[in-house]
Amino acid sequence: MLNIYISGEDGVLQEINEFAKGAWVHLTAPDEEEIQKVVQSLGIPADFIRDPLDEEERSRIDKEGDNLLIIVDIPILENEGSRDEQYITIPLGMIVTPDLFITV
């Protein structure tokens, strides 16, 4: 899923349909079409989008041109509501570009 947000004049996030300077682009389990749209429209390396989708990806920082990728492992609750609740970690990718902020 691809969502694009921008802060309105009142500071409240508003969802928009097109990429814009200062926007936050959020990708959740993106399909190949969404990945290609971001890669081609924004000039982001495809690996910057795909790497955080790998559950085994470890935390790291990478830079290519003006694009910075930060991957961190974040905890999520597994088996919520059961007696066997436990936390696991999944990667969160944050991409900082001169014009946008992207999360994967």
% of the chain beyond a pLDDT of 90:
85
Domain count, the chain: 1
Question: What domain range includes position 61?
Answer: 2-103
CATH number at residue 40: 3.30.460.20
Q: Report the predicted TM-score, pTM, of the whole model to 2 decimal places.
A: 0.89
Residue 11 has pLDDT above 90, yes or no: no
% of the chain beyond a pLDDT of 70:
100
- What digits encode the pLDDT tens for the residues 71-87? 999 999 888 777 778 89
- Residue located via tokens 């009142």: 10
- What digits encode the pLDDT tens for the residues 16-30? 999 999 999 999 999
Query: How many Å separate Cα 64 from the centre of its chain?
Result: 16
List Cβ<8 Å contacts ≥24 apart for 53-57: 53/29, 53/91, 53/104, 54/91, 55/90, 55/91, 57/91
